Amino acid sequence: MFAVCVHLNAQNVGDQRPQAGVADSFGINVDFIEPKRGELRMMAAAGFRWVRVEFKWDVIEKAKGTYDFAQYDRLLTALDTESLRALFVLGYVNPLYDNGTSPHTEAGRRAFANWAVAAAKHFANRGVLWELYNKPNDSRYWQPQPNVNDYIQLALEVSKQFRATVPAERLIGPATSGIDFDFLEACFKAGLLQYWSAISVHPYRMEPPETVVPGYNRLRDLIKSYKQGSEKDTAIISSEWGYSSVWSGMTDDKESEYLVRQWLVNLANGVPISIWYSWRDGKDLQDIDQGFGTVTFQYGQKRAYLAAKAVTSFLNGYKLVKRFDVGGSDDFVFLFQNGAESRVVAWGTTRRAHRVVVPLGAGKYELTNHLGDALEPVIALTPDVPIEITSSPTYVKFLEAIKTKKK
């Protein structure tokens, strides 16, 4: 039987692998505070469980010391209705402080921290994940120019107040553009690891998703080098990462393949939350930055949306267990389990179709592509099941056992 034979010739995913269900780890980045009617339901239908939203200081504090959370109250209520969880990004500037630049004075840092803690108290126990700023190593977000020391002083101010006032709320950071090791190490040296529940990064790249693995390994080693021996491991979160369908060499189909591969490679490397950038395309697709969406500007379903829906549906309730060794380092064959039930997702990093053999057990197997379309089923008369794979993930589901005659 499938569930009995899957352990053969398989290697366990590393100790960092998450215990949460696969579908619970996926999220989407949005650019709104007020969603349009039906928009959140559409996200939930695709299997997204987290919604990353900019939580804007200047929107909430328009008079010093006075906070109006009404817009975000409405948003969180709407998210709750669709069983979506919020990842709120604490940012950015406020014209009331530091001349509208990123907090860099004692007064500006104190005001930002007071506002952030007031927000955490207001939304306490609502399951919000708080992210401290967004791309502070990028001049588009940390104004007028990135300054790691200014960010660290702000982060320490906020983190200490969180620990003292709302210790149950989860704070993560620093949400760097790329995996900026110099910036990250400066944060770790300053002691921020003792306050943060996870380290968030934005591993954008033009290359395939699998190329992120050395970066994660290096970052994990760096984290460990600054952690005390008695402290728990600190997870890495991919809080923003996507591929634009209008990049040179990219297509809607390739973007959709990369969406699935990115999420599953993240899971296999102990990344418990992956936020895809982004929800919706911009209006002008001549601008490559406006093609990252899973839906079009008019909310038509792109192939990326269909891929998200297919993978979350296929793996709903399942946990990642192991990666099979099928003979090639460029072949990715992952086993997922839900109790006694098992499923497999397989792909290679090249578009060239080739066959791999997976020890799943004799039986009949249903195969679908990464968009959920049916492929030719496989009937295996021996425990070794042949599966043809390409760069497009294939989903393998056990249907029924086949009895073979004994000689």
pLDDT value for 282: 97
Residue 28 has pLDDT above 50, yes or no: yes
pLDDT value for 85: 97
Length of the chain: 407
CB 361 within 8 A of CB 5: yes
> Strand 378-380 and strand 363-369: pairing?
antiparallel
Residue 8 has pLDDT above 80, yes or no: no
CB neighbour list of residue 221: distance below 8 Å, 6 or more residues apart:
none
Q: Which DSSP state fits 374? A: B
Sign of CA dihedral 303, 306, 312, 315: negative
Q: For tokens 């993930």, what's the residue? A: 393
CATH of domain 2-11+320-401: 2.60.40.1180
Lowest mean per-residue pLDDT among 176-190, 228-242, 304-318: 228-242
Confidence band (pLDDT; 50, 70, 90) for 3? very low
Tokens of 378: 């496989």
Comparing C-alpha atoms, which of 13, 20, 82, 19 is closest to residue 51? 82
What CA–CA distances, in Å, run from 70 to 75, 119, 364?
9, 11, 55
pLDDT tens digit sequence for 305-338: 999 999 999 999 999 999 999 988 999 999 999 9
- The SS3 assignment for 175 reads strand
pLDDT tens digit sequence for 102-154: 999 999 999 999 999 999 999 999 999 999 999 999 999 999 999 999 999 99
Question: Using CA atoms, how far apart are residues 345 and 311, in angstroms rounded to an integer?
Answer: 9
Tokens of 296: 């079009």
CATH of domain 22-316: 3.20.20.80
pLDDT value for 231: 56
pLDDT tens digit sequence for 265-313: 999 999 999 999 999 999 999 998 999 999 999 999 999 999 999 999 9
Confidence band (pLDDT; 50, 70, 90) for 2? very low
Average pLDDT, the chain: 92
Confidence band (pLDDT; 50, 70, 90) for 23? confident
Question: Using CA atoms, how far apart are residues 290 and 278, in angstroms rounded to an integer?
Answer: 9
Q: Which long-range contacts (CB under 8 A, 24 or more apart) does 18-22 make?
A: 18/235, 18/267, 18/270, 18/271, 18/272, 18/320, 19/319, 20/272, 20/319, 21/316, 21/317, 21/318, 21/319, 22/267, 22/312, 22/315, 22/316, 22/318, 22/319, 22/320, 22/336
The residues spanned by each domain of the chain are 2-11+320-401, 22-316
Question: Using CA atoms, how far apart are residues 216 and 94, in angstroms rounded to an integer?
Answer: 34
Tokens of 261: 């591969």
Q: How many CB atoms lie within 10 A of CB 2?
A: 23
Confidence band (pLDDT; 50, 70, 90) for 406? low
Tokens of 237: 């979160």
Tokens of 27: 């999220």
Query: Do 2-11+320-401 and 22-316 show the same overall fold?
Result: no
User: pTM for the full model?
Assistant: 0.93
Classify residue 146 as left (phi > 0), alpha (psi -120 to 50) or beta: beta
pLDDT tens digit sequence for 246-268: 999 999 999 999 999 999 999 99
Maximum pairwise Cα distance, the chain: 85
Instruction: Write out the DSSP string of 349-393.
Output: SSSS-EEEEEE--SEEEEEEETTS-B---EEESSSEEEEEE-SS-
pLDDT value for 227: 86
Residue 13 has pLDDT above 50, yes or no: no
Question: Using CA atoms, how far apart are residues 300 and 280, in angstroms rounded to an integer?
Answer: 9
Question: Using CA atoms, how far apart are residues 170 and 166, in angstroms rounded to an integer?
Answer: 9
